[in-house]
Amino acid sequence: MPSGFVIRKNQYYDSLFLMGVNKRLSEVKGVQQTAVLMGSEKNKGLLFDIGIKDPQIDAAQPNDLIVAVIAETVTIVDDVLERLDEWLQVSLESAPISDLRTFEEGFARKPAANLAVISIPGEYAGREARKALEARMNVFVFSSNISVEEELELKQFAAQQGLLVMGPDCGTSLIGGVGIGFANAVRKGCIGAIGAAGTGLQEFTSQVHNAGLGISHAIGTGSHDLSDKIGGLTAFAALEALEADPQTEIIAMISKPPGARTLERLFERLKVCRTPVIGCFLGMPSEAISASENFQLARTIDEAVQFAIARTSGKLATAQGLFSPEEMDSLAREKASWLPEQRYLRGLFAGGTFCYQSQQIFRDAGNAIHSNAPLEEIYKLANPDHSIEHTLVDMGDDHYTLGRPHPMLDGTMRRQRIRSESRDPQVAILLLDFILGYNASMDPVGELLDVILEAQRAAHQRGGALTVVASICGTDGDLQDIGLQTKMLQEAGVIVFPSNAKAASFCCELLKRG
């Protein structure tokens, strides 16, 4: 397909602004793919991967803006690039106006601040985080692409100062009821949380709110914190802070499996923690860690919520059937509408935690699942864009988000993948997640609704049916209106669940009956 690019020398913009520009370009009719990014080495590698290469790009510097377009015709490519100033101006006019340009200027404006939020390209984020720590501020680093070595240096320095570094690659935190990054509107309460993954914290805190309880603090650590290279420096500091917090009566920890050495140290620390702790280490075998008087192991985020509520209320969680009678009826109805060749499931997730937890649930049910972010390396997709048999895809992976908006902000990449999966006559089930809250898309369901209906029609035209199952992560306080988002899906024939674990478990039952 025709492609082209433009380089603007010394024209720097932050990542959130670039995501907005990219979204506008991608909505132009006939445009197939866009990339709006700064000229860092990693970003230039991304351009090479999608077939955009040129000596001018090789020579671009990190402060240079690169805009690339792949479209159906040369005319569309030229038109989009010629109107670049127009796209930039529209985005600038809609962006918040600030006269602050450096960390020093911001700190001079608010000298009493004790938390800095950093969302700039990873090449510069570590330097700015260091400045904040030296100014005795805790740090929330939304930016990714910071080396593990630099992360370790920052966290070791923070530990010496008695400060927290949440991140890098930290999607979510709730500090004193204030959401940072991607967070939901939840009430304050007595349950604390520590999470290595943003959507894991969102799912836990939203379910606690929806059950009528509240959150004291939810502290994100960043995705690498519990690895043996970092050693859980932020997780241990967060545990100590929540243990000392008089409002926090119970703590939940949610992450992928920690490194072996870090897990051993963590378990020893949990034995002496004065506050009860619930651990949910997704993908880790249950026998890898044993419960103790003050520590309870949960298999899923749903179970962690149930344990936290039971501990807080002093009552045992009430055993309930996994599915309602209506949901049980739909199991047989959905299976009866499939053609014999329809036997596979495809899951397309905005939340990486949901992709990971779903794999665990399917694995426990005896299903082999392929993924771009697999539990076991033998099931790693050779090409993330091509599904094999049962496949679950983390659409928030760097492969899809470098130079493009995250799927929680913009559904364009998922729209394309849903359309692609719907062309496979062997697909019976499509599993999706929709995440509400601050900084997320204002209408995540609306962005995908027409392509979901299109995929269902394609299956009907072949004589079969496509079963679409979805979970919604959010609360009644979120601006997106969880009731309306749910209703839109249900009216489109989508089977909707209030949690990813329930949606994945329902799909397991469908596959079992298949």
All domains of the chain, ordered by start, with CATH? Answer: 3-94 (3.30.70), 103-313 (3.40.50.261), 325-513 (3.40.50.261)
With a pLDDT cut of 70, the percent of the chain lying above it is: 94
pLDDT score at 96 = 63
Amino acid at 255: S
Q: What pLDDT does residue 287 have? A: 67
Cα 445 from Cα 438, distance rounded (Å): 16
Helix (H, G, I), strand (E, B) or coil at 61: coil
Q: How far is Cα 287 from Cα 263, in angstroms, rounded to an integer?
A: 13
| DSSP string computed for 397-429 | SHHHHTTS--TTT--HHHHHHHHHHHT-TTEEE
What ranges in 285-324 are assigned the alpha helix state H?
Answer: 301-313
Task: With a cut of 50, say whether residue 319 has pLDDT above it.
Answer: no
Highest mean pLDDT among 8-12, 411-415, 443-447, 509-513: 443-447
Per residue in 180-229, pLDDT (tens digit) is: 999 999 999 999 999 998 999 999 999 999 999 999 999 999 999 999 99
Highest mean pLDDT among 124-128, 324-328, 404-408: 124-128
Please identify which residue in the block is written with the tokens 């939840």: 186
Residue 167 has pLDDT above 90, yes or no: yes
CB atoms near residue 479 (< 10 Å):
12
Supply the pLDDT for residue 91: 63
The pLDDT tens digits for 91-130 are 666 656 667 778 888 888 888 889 999 988 778 899 999 9
| Summary mean pLDDT of the chain | 90
Could you read off the pLDDT of 459-505 as tens digits, one per residue? 999 999 999 999 999 999 999 999 999 999 999 999 999 999 999 99
What's the average model confidence in pLDDT over 293-306?
Answer: 92
Arithmetic mean of pLDDT, 343-366:
96
* Mean pLDDT value across residues 136-152: 92
